[in-house]
Amino acid sequence: MFDVENMPGILKARREALELSAQDVARMVGISSAAYFDLETFAADFRQAVSLDKIILLSKVLKEEAIARFHDSENADGRKVLLNDLPGLILTQLNESGMSFSEFSTRVGYDLSSDGLTNEDVLNWNLDCLFLVCEELGVSEILLR
């Protein structure tokens, strides 16, 4: 879906270009310095260890829109939806398919909130969760606005 393998280098290059320390970026994003260093070192941490709201904030701090561009380049014909529209889209899918929220969560492989999915819940997902949900919904690109 989203090539995160180069993300550690992108993060470090943007931070250095803006003459920010890793500690500065970590503080501005609201994560520990160790967690930020891991993002600059391990691509898997970008996919799994940080929430979408932190990724979006990171893209603003580092002034790099590509950091928070979520798309499936292999599925260019898929739907493009706003991030804020995902909860409603999931509920529509469940209503149309007759699938329960529990079944959907099992298919995705993540325990999604079943107490009425909100935009705040979505912002707490990691990238892996987002990509798996999008795959289930046939969504190829998430737009932030």
pLDDT of residue 1: 41
Residue 16 has pLDDT above 90, yes or no: yes
- DSSP state at residue 18: T
Least confident stretch, 35-44, 71-80, 84-93: 71-80
Mean pLDDT, to the nearest integer, of 32-51? 94
Q: Where in the chain is the domain with CATH 1.10.260.40?
A: 7-68
Place 79 in a pLDDT band, splitting at 50, 70 and 90.
Answer: confident
Q: Does domain 79-143 have CATH number 1.20.58?
A: no
- Specify the higher pLDDT residue, 144 or 77: 144
Q: List strands edge to edge, sheet with 79-82.
A: 70-71, 139-143, 79-82
Q: Does domain 7-68 have CATH number 1.10.510.10?
A: no
Residues sharing a CB contact under 8 Å with residue 136, sequence separation 6 or more, in sequence order: 93, 104, 107, 108
Residue 3: predicted pLDDT? 67
